[in-house]
Structure 1
């Protein structure tokens, strides 16, 4: 029987406990990551929702920025939700000049694209790769993907309805290689299907490394 993969949750700011609980339910062993040594010991990593500029500064302060970029380049499975999507993007519209990017996804993201806290909303989305019906998605000061490179797989878009307005057909979930991100917060809904999708990705990477 394959061991439970060790999946870190970046624990400098944001929805750390919520993601850890969902990862445990999805079959992983969740661990907080605040130091380079902790990052080196995990099979995968979650970048939680929070405040992306604060998180990027803390990544630099904790000495995690370059080691994390290197591990992503080496194939570390990573899942980012909301602020995590912003951090993983190649480029960000409406970001701060001193904001650091991990360049894990060939996408351009618009920060706070759906509006401020009062504009938070929930909707149901069809997400490619997730079975058993739509995913209930919670958007809180969420980004969206303005542009996606040729190697980026689009997993979900906002439904193109009159009620969606400017958000209609906007990209809100993507995957490139072993890096996966959503503009919404599945950790807040009790539905662990997206975390199970990510944990399967981590297990696949673990098997790949063991077979080398």
Structure 2
């Protein structure tokens, strides 16, 4: 068997950057826009973008039920920024009609770090990722306000007004970060996810 086949949900957001990062760690990468394309992957990345738009497009492209089923069946999924929002069981400050996949038992506050002009970069230590702090890029990012038992907190903000806010979590085969590792050239989180997908195959 070859390496894991990892899909990137290609409806909206920074799809190209995730494809490049996953390719860089040796994954066989496919873009996913249709249920048949989802069937062909071992794991899925939900990229950063605009979570309310993504929620609508998931329904338009008839992907909600298939993704829900694959998550329930144990498919590894990694969500960055908007992808984190899409994986949360509860979203604060979202639109009333906004729906995600409710995979990770957590409450996420949408745009918690502020507007586009409030974007920033900061070091974040990630449990399970060696090599020192991760250079994290936050763009209109959410943060996690609460997690249930069974959700592992992997990273928190280490300084500034948002100190100690949760920005990286894992629950089983589901991984989420508030920030955008695909924009940094640091491939460690993508390697972490690819290893998770490989272990789940």
Extract unaligned runs of 5+ from structure 2. Answer: none
Query: Is residue 167 of structure 2 the alignment partner of residue 168 of structure 1?
Result: no
Q: Which residue of 2 aligns with 1:132?
A: 131
Q: Which residue of 2 aligns with 1:152?
A: 151
Render the CA deviation track for 1:20-39: whole Å, top value 9, x for unaligned. Answer: 00001112111000000000
Q: Where do 1:50-199 residues align within 5 Å? A: 50-159=49-158, 161=159, 164-165=160-161, 167-199=162-194
Q: CA deviation at 1:11?
A: 0.2
Distance 1:149 1:68 in 2: 22
Q: Which residue of 1 aligns with 2:197?
A: 202
Q: CA deviation at 1:132?
A: 1.0
Q: CA deviation at 1:118?
A: 0.3
Q: Which residue of 2 aligns with 1:210?
A: none
Distance 1:104 1:20 in 2: 23
Distance 1:186 1:150 in 2: 26
Distance 2:12 2:135 in 1: 24
Extract unaligned runs of 5+ from structure 1. Answer: 207-212
Instruction: Give the ranges of 4+ consecutive aligned residues of structure 1 lying more than 6 Å apart after TM superposition.
Output: none
The alignment yields a C-alpha RMSD, in angstroms, of 0.6
Render the CA deviation track for 1:104-128: whole Å, top value 9, x for unaligned. Answer: 1000000000000000000111100
Q: How many residues align?
A: 201
Distance 2:32 2:22 in 1: 14
Distance 1:42 1:200 in 2: 14
Q: Which residue of 2 aligns with 1:27?
A: 26
Distance 2:152 2:140 in 1: 23
Distance 2:130 2:83 in 1: 24
TM-score, normalised via structure 1 length: 0.94
Distance 1:132 1:51 in 2: 31
Distance 1:205 1:65 in 2: 22
Render the CA deviation track for 1:136-156: whole Å, top value 9, x for unaligned. Answer: 000000000000010000000
Distance 2:40 2:103 in 1: 20
1:145 match: secondary structure: strand
Q: Which structure: larger Rg? A: 1
